[in-house]
Amino acid sequence: MTESNPFIGTEQYYAEHRPDYGEATVDYLRERFALDSDARVLDLGCGAGQLAVPLARHAYDVVAMDPNEEMLRHARERAAEAGVENVEWVVGSDADLRVEQGPFRLTTMGRSFHWMDQERTLDRLYRATEADGGVALLTDREWLTKGREAWQATVYDVVTDYLDDVPERVDPEAVTYDDPWDETLAAFGFESVETVTFDVEREWTADDVVGYVLSLSFCSPERFGDERAAFERDLRARLRESGEEPFEQVAAVEVISGLRAPESD
């Protein structure tokens, strides 16, 4: 990853307050990549196991890699609570990825590809992917700066009262990328590239909102320093004033995926 451990100090909040990707997303990956009792899956940048654990139910085994050891500790706890035992937890980033770790039927990268050396990573993954297997990039839009709800704007205002250099709020539909990921996958040999979106409705408590903010790399607890308690107090007060709890969100999980072509005869 371009930064070795951007989430230091956020791990507990990430594990407890970052949402998973939903059953529809996991079902899509299972069907598109024919996951079964023989399939090996790599979850690169696995975080606290939000994707690795549900995928493990549909595979022979999952290799889950993340450079943050504390994040992996929370991921192991998630797996234990779910009764999942077929995950190998590996401390490492995309820089540590080796072709010989494969072959994999599927590699997933959830909320992590933007941190990586993308060209090097896809080059290695193509060679580590079995024929008819592939790669899936998952995003679940960060709502603090890209959310449209009034309560999200309120949260942003409180955050910027305490922190400098917070990314600006933007219209999520206006965001464009110089290197669209579907084209990036195709450029590295993946075929039948497709983008699918799953709509998700969520409800957040005040505790969830506070925890989510502290799970973000640019809002980590250490960034607030001695003002963290005051921030949490002020944020909870502003949320109470809104009278909206639980706070409703219409979200979208986007999956961009491609297949490695079968070997020619």
Domain ranges of the chain: 11-260
- Identify the pLDDT of residue 141: 84
- Identify the pLDDT of residue 95: 94
Q: What angle do CA 186, 190, 195 make, to 5 degrees?
A: 70
From first to last of the 265 residues of the chain, give the pLDDT tens digit: 434 577 899 999 999 999 999 999 999 999 999 999 999 999 999 999 999 999 999 999 999 999 999 999 999 999 999 999 999 999 999 999 999 999 999 999 999 999 899 999 999 999 999 999 999 999 988 899 999 899 999 999 999 999 999 999 987 665 545 569 999 999 999 999 999 999 999 999 999 999 999 999 999 999 999 999 999 999 999 999 988 899 999 999 999 999 998 765 4
Beta carbons within 10 angstroms of residue 168's beta carbon: 7
- Identify the pLDDT of residue 208: 97
Fold of 11-260: Rossmann fold (3.40.50)
